[in-house]
Structure 1
Amino acid sequence: MEAPLLVHIEGSRLPGRSSPAGPGFPGFPGFPGYENIHVGVQRKDRPGELLGPTPGDAPGARWTLECTAAEDADGVAVRGPYVQNRLGGRFVYLSWGTVDADGLFTMFRRAKLLFADVDAAVLAAAVRSGHLTARLPLSDAEGRPLCGRVRPPVVVWSAAAPGRP
């Protein structure tokens, strides 16, 4: 049986509207530097469709995703229009991109929040409360947009509603 679940993502420490060039990391080329940076939640299978594009110099970023949760053979499956489902599990993409003068968003990197990284007890409590909250910084140690798989302790998952510990 499916239950409604609101997934809240609360981002802090955004990287700014511009990011200088820098080195890459395994499997990714160097970071060429970008201007007018924004971040948003990517809709499932639609990289150009974002929920709540937020400027990189905002004091924080918040998104609420209307989802459902249901028990399946692997535990709890979270589903919704912004939940990706690929090999390796269900997850949410935070897409980083630039916005041009016409308002066109061009993605350059993404951060991945996997539901498999949520502690089973926290996920079970979230299903009961109807709220799952992820809190994370949105810049890496060098101050650039956070990308790649984001795991605890960088992201902190809780069954609390927004604004509650």
Structure 2
Amino acid sequence: MPSLLLRIVGRDLPGRECGGYRDVHVAVQRGREPEGIVPGDAAEAVWEFPVEVVASPDGSRDFRGPHVHGRRGGRFLYLTWGELPDGGAFTMFRRAKLLLDDLPPRVLERGAAETELRLTDRCGMPVCAAVRPPGVLWR
């Protein structure tokens, strides 16, 4: 099975201050670390990286790579939210999961996938928990 180039475009960010948090930023999580940190008041946040698509022992598809989290059959990507004051360290306060099982087969065949998603929830806070269609649609 091929490698897959993923592109995530986040729009409608919640701002640098929300819900008592200050200096809000978002990043994609690579291993345990935030990567591609974007301020919460940016016009958009864009991340692009490869994910390896492999066959599981039962023949189903599986995903691997430094951005991939979870167990076989339930792999996902994290968007991590944190405070990042000037000169300080990124301190995570919530995360959103983008489930890789939501990727349609036609996207895997093409070798590239893109999604656009809203990064602010209905309460004006950073989107969190499992983001499922229609909140995230891969094309």
- What is the TM-score normalised by the length of structure 2? 0.91
2:76 alignment partner, one of 72, 85, 91: 91
The residue that corresponds to 1:76 in the other structure is 61
For residue 12 of structure 1, what is the amino acid of its counterpart? R
- CA distance in 2 between counterparts of 1:78 and 1:150 reads 18
Segment of structure 1 superposing worse, 97-106 or 83-92: 83-92
The runs of 4+ residues in structure 1 deviating greater than 3 Å are none
The residue that corresponds to 1:126 in the other structure is 107
Q: CA 1:6 to 1:87, structure 2 compared with 1: closer, same or farther past 3 Å?
A: closer
1:90-109 Cα distance to aligned partner (Å, 9 max, x none): 00000000002313100000
1:31-67 Cα distance to aligned partner (Å, 9 max, x none): xx200100001112x1xx1120000000011101211
The answer for unaligned runs of 5 or more in structure 1 is 21-32, 159-165
- CA distance in 1 between counterparts of 2:29 and 2:51 reads 14
Q: CA 1:74 to 1:93, structure 2 compared with 1: closer, same or farther past 3 Å?
A: farther
For residue 18 of structure 2, what is the amino acid of its counterpart? S
Q: CA 1:103 to 1:88, structure 2 compared with 1: closer, same or farther past 3 Å?
A: farther
Q: CA 1:148 to 1:68, structure 2 compared with 1: closer, same or farther past 3 Å?
A: same
2:23 alignment partner, one of 26, 36, 60: 36
- CA distance in 2 between counterparts of 1:88 and 1:139 reads 28
Determine helix, strand or coil for the equivalent of 1:145. Answer: coil
1:70-116 Cα distance to aligned partner (Å, 9 max, x none): 23236321211101023761000000000023131000000001112
8 Å CA contact retained: 2:62, 2:72: no
For residue 64 of structure 1, what is the amino acid of its counterpart? E
Determine helix, strand or coil for the equivalent of 2:127. Answer: coil
For residue 14 of structure 1, what is the amino acid of its counterpart? L
The answer for unaligned runs of 5 or more in structure 2 is none
The number of residue pairs the alignment matches comes to 138
- CA distance in 1 between counterparts of 2:108 and 2:102 reads 16
8 Å CA contact retained: 2:55, 2:62: yes
Q: CA 1:155 to 1:102, structure 2 compared with 1: closer, same or farther past 3 Å?
A: same
Aligned-residue identity in percent = 45
